[in-house]
Amino acid sequence: MFEWFQYFFHRGNATKRILIVSPDRALMTGIQKDIKYLFKGWELHFAADGRHGAHELAHGSWEVIVVDTAIRDMSVRDLLKNSLTKSPNAIRILLTNPGDSGYATVSLMSVAHRFLTKPCNLDALKVTIHQAMEVRLLLCSPQMQQIVSKITVLPQLPQIFVRVMEELDNPNASARTIGALIAQDVSISAKVLNVVNSAYFGVAQRVADPSQAVSLLGMDTVRSIVLLFDVFTKFQHLNDRVPDFKLDALQRHSLAVAAGARAIARKESMDPVTHEHSYLAGLFHDIGKLVLLANFTKEFALAMRICREQQVSASAAEWKVLGVTHAEVGGYLLGLWGFADPVIEACAWHHQPRKGGNAFGFSPLMAVHAADAFHASSEGGREMVGGDKLDLTYMRENYKAPAVPAWQELCQACYQQPTAPGGRS
């Protein structure tokens, strides 16, 4: 992701190239009609099917690749994966259609940075491309680069997570095969089952094995829970280094915000990818605190003390001490891990959603911002230090009429009687 930033800006004033692969003639006609207004300084190329799209990919490099799931002559996943060879730094955008299977769409999350649901207007495509570039610009800011240069400890993707990812790329992957992989790690498996059976998911029947968990919750959700617990386990030895900060409290908060964000997303959007992105972003929205704890222990301890003594938010205290916040550092880490742009964006800006620009509709950033604020102010969130208030003005400006009381009620239902591994109810 960060190589993309250097690649893009080193091109200077060179023409930027967009490839759009879609059989939708109306979409193509509209873009060609407004090309000068929408994409000034960009060179657009069109392919009406996967075969011609693959040919264009093989014979050129691209800054942005847009693929419509309506192509029928080849696999969308294969086309996007092939783009990694010739244009590894390209922004990859998937245009989904109303009839698409929810599972099939979610399964493409590992090969696309952003998703747009058709019918979408051309301004939405322009905004999507702009937001993708803004994410890269923020995470490669001078302040971030200065902090990154001093980081010596970064959480690595655990081997079990990598193996699950590899299995997901297998067309014959199933809940049984994924569950069998998770079951090989007894500790992680037990923690996954513990949280799956907690009130965070509201599963009617008791889940007895990882395969059943995958069937009920989906491969991506279970995979992400595996990653969360593995990372927290590796940082457990740092738990007592900062008096005002406890890992078990952060873990419970992360699970609660993830559940709340997904509940909000399910109420406001029919898009399964938005549901999944909201959950993932909620799960990892505070992961940057672990990076600060491990690499800047004294500075992080000072920030937490300032937060407690001066009654300011954690992000405000971190900025005062370090010049960056846990949110931005977390976004950087998720970028290194290859998470989709909306997940990175929601993590990096969950305390200051205005930095994400105009959303022009519901987004994972909005869901995580709200769920985080609700939990920080709830009884379950009292032990979390330094929560930020809900930015109601941002919500109103970027969404038709957010039903904040209804959202809060949904989140409160998720927060009741939570049972997370390593923490008390």
pLDDT tens, residue by residue, 63-82: 889 999 889 888 888 888 88
When pLDDT is cut at 50, 70 and 90, the band that residue 199 belongs to is low
DSSP code of residue 94: E
- What distances in angstroms separate CA 125 from CA 93, 132, 404, one per listed residue? 9, 11, 28
pLDDT band at 417; cut points 50, 70, 90:
very low
The answer to whether domain 2-140 and domain 147-415 are alike in fold is no
DSSP single-letter state for residue 284 = H
User: Closest Cα partner for 179 from 228, 225, 229?
Assistant: 225
92, 112 Cβ separation under 8 angstroms: yes
Residue pLDDT, tens place only, 29-58: 777 766 655 666 778 888 999 999 999 998
Q: What is the DSSP string of 166-232?
A: HHHTSTT--HHHHHHHHHTSHHHHHHHHHHHTSTTTT-SS---SHHHHHHHH-HHHHHHHHHHHHHH
Among candidates 420, 360, 424, 423, which has minimal Cα distance to 395? 360
**How many residues are there in the chain?**
425
Least-confidence region, from 124-138, 205-219, 319-333: 124-138
Per CATH, is 2-140 categorized as 2.40.30.10? no
Pairing, β 42-47 against β 64-68 = unpaired
Could you give the percent of the chain with pLDDT greater than 70? 80
Residue 60 is encoded by which pair of tokens?
A: 């050129």
Ordered by start, the domain boundaries in the chain are 2-140, 147-415
Compare 293 and 216 and report the one with higher pLDDT. Answer: 293
Q: How many CA atoms lie within 13 A of 403 on its CB side?
A: 10
- pLDDT score for 420: 38
**Identity of the amino acid at 66:** V
Question: What is the Cα–Cα distance from 269 to 361, expressed in whole angstroms?
Answer: 10
The predicted structure's pLDDT at residue 110: 65
pTM, two decimals, is 0.71
Give CATH superfamily name and number for 147-415.
Hypothetical protein af1432 (1.10.3210.10)
Mean per-residue pLDDT for 268-279?
87
Nearest-angstrom CA–CA distance, 193 and 203: 11
**Quick one: tokens of 379?**
């009884």
**What count of other Cβ atoms lies within 10 Å of the Cβ of residue 28?**
16
Q: Rounded CA gap, 80 and 281, in Å?
A: 23
Per-residue pLDDT, averaged over 254-259, amounts to 90
Task: Please give the mean pLDDT across all residues of the chain.
Answer: 79
